């Protein structure tokens, strides 16, 4: 789930932090640039672990900043396919369940990936699993849920305009933006679904 990744980058140090020791200034800039950001095909960066190498700073003509080449390790969150995670149901719809973790919200469990016999109830705004005729098990919002990672999706996200909204080209309506990193999960085997079912 968590892994250490080695990254090399050219970091820009502004003049207002020249008074800090070099390694402290570099660490601050790295955390600001990478922490809680998604790196395409790598995962969600949690924090900078350590700095392996700091080269001498370079100056560019007409620019008061210094540029330092750095090699560092960062902690990356990237669950593997087949891993079982525990989260909370955030939303329920006819399409499926949206699940959140304490630090990551872009997890979706399609209705087809729920237990066989699961149906969506509009009245209850919840998915219901009926393992037999006399039993109804609800997947309610805010319930703790176990799910299996089936797929991860990385998307190249273009910068948004000054309004920070994404507009559909054909209809002109606002549409939901695609996250840079999303996970598709499933609940189809014993132990999956609401944690309370199996306690």
Summarised one tens digit per residue, pLDDT across range 50-96 is 999 998 888 888 888 899 999 999 999 999 999 999 999 999 889 99
Residue 174 has pLDDT above 80, yes or no: no
Mean pLDDT of 150-176: 68
For strand 107-110 and strand 181-186, is the pairing parallel, antiparallel, or unpaired?
A: parallel
**pLDDT tens per residue, range 1-23:** 889 999 999 999 988 888 888 88
| Two tokens, residue 44 | 């969600």
Contacts of 10 (CB under 8 A, 6+ apart): 67, 68, 69, 70
All domains in the chain, ordered by first residue:
2-77 (3.30.1490.120), 84-198 (2.40.50.140)
**pLDDT tens per residue, range 81-140:** 999 999 999 998 899 999 999 989 999 999 899 988 888 888 888 888 888 778 888 888
Average pLDDT of every residue of the chain: 86
Q: Above pLDDT 90, what percent of the chain?
A: 42
Contacts of 28 (CB under 8 A, 6+ apart): 17, 20
């Amino acid at each position: 789930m968590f892994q250490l990744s080695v990254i090399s980058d050219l970091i820009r140090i502004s003049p207002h932090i020249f008074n800090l020791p070099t390694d402290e200034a570099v660490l601050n800039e790295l955390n600001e640039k990478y922490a809680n950001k998604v790196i395409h095909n790598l995962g969600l960066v949690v924090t900078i672990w350590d700095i392996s190498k700091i080269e001498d700073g370079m100056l560019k003509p007409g620019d008061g900043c210094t540029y330092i080449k750095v090699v560092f390790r960062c902690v990356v969150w990237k669950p593997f396919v087949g891993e079982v995670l525990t989260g909370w149901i955030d939303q329920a719809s006819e399409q499926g369940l949206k699940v959140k973790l304490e630090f990551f919200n872009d997890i979706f469990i399609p209705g087809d990936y729920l237990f066989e016999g699961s149906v969506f109830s509009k009245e209850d705004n919840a998915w219901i699993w009926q393992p037999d005729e006399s039993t109804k098990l609800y997947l309610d919002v805010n319930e703790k849920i176990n799910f299996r990672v089936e797929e991860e999706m990385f998307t190249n996200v273009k910068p948004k305009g000054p309004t920070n909204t994404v507009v559909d080209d054909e209809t002109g309506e606002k549409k939901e933006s695609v996250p840079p990193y999303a996970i598709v999960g499933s609940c189809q085997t014993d132990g999956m679904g609401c944690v309370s079912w199996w306690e």
